[in-house]
A and B are shown apart, each in its own frame.
Chain A
Amino acid sequence: ETGVTQTPRHLVMGMTNKKSLKCEQHLGHNAMYWYKQSAKKPLELMFVYNFKEQTENNSVPSRFSPECPNSSHLFLHLHTLQPEDSALYLCASSQAFAPIIRNEQFFGPGTRLTVL
């Protein structure tokens, strides 16, 4: 395990449910990210938060709603999802404004989401 934790690790939900994914980083970073990893597709960036402010939203459907209450915690609220939203959702963190050429992202273990 890394300094980035995610809960739950597995989630099964119906299309009418509302659930939330949680990410916490213990690395003192101040930028956090949500990624989606579907079968046979590259990792896709969904949201970026820098100092708790959202700076990137890659045309993600509104049924995904991020929340970043502080620089250590990141949530992804889910509602009325579709079966095609089933995927591994990964959280990552990095040190914003560190020299970018040396900057690394550290990833959590992911939440495996299945939408029935």
Chain B
Amino acid sequence: KQEVTQIPAALSVPEGENLVLNCSFTDSAIYNLQWFRQDPGKGLTSLLLIQSSQREQTSGRLNASLDKSSGRSTLYIAASQPGDSATYLCAVTHRSEIQGAQKLVFGQGTRLTINP
């Protein structure tokens, strides 16, 4: 059974710092890995999707990497801003459970606070 772990559970840093969020998964047979952002009490916003054949994806100040063989992904946030404060979730899509639709397995998230 796939398990996704995110470390740390919470992180607080001053504005302007670069930071790294970590995600690990136990079963490397994945189709892709997604990073989401969730603001308090709100739904999820997709940030980046890395296909299983890719090593990294970039969007603005965000860079996500994927090492499928070791079961790890990182989300790098450059020059952090108070507006980046949110919970960041990673999720993997399974190869073996596809029936014409996706099945995502989520980590518990990292709650990020950027202090002005």
In the complex, whether A64 has a CB less than 8 A from a CB of chain B is no
**How distant is A97 from chain B, measured CB to nearest CB, in Å?**
6
Task: For B32, give its contact among A31, A42, A102 (CB under 8 Å).
Answer: A102
In the complex, whether A90 has a CB less than 8 A from a CB of chain B is yes
Chain A interface residue count, CB cutoff 8 Å, equals: 34
| Size range of the chain B interface in the assembly | 20 to 34
A-B contact count (CB 8 A): 83
In the complex, whether B104 has a CB less than 8 A from a CB of chain A is yes
A residues within 8 A CB of B45?
2, 107
Q: B108–A50 contact, CB under 8 A?
A: no
**How distant is B2 from chain A, measured CB to nearest CB, in Å?**
11
User: What's the Cα separation between A107 and B102 when bound, in Å?
Assistant: 13
User: What's the Cα separation between A104 and B107 when bound, in Å?
Assistant: 17
Query: Which residue on A lies nearest to B93, using beta carbons?
Result: A100
B residues within 8 A CB of A21?
none
15 more A-B residue pairs beyond the given contacts A42-B107, A43-B91, A100-B98, with a C-beta to C-beta distance below 8 A: A31-B100, A31-B101, A33-B102, A40-B108, A48-B99, A88-B41, A94-B101, A100-B32, A101-B51, A102-B32, A102-B49, A103-B31, A103-B32, A105-B34, A110-B43
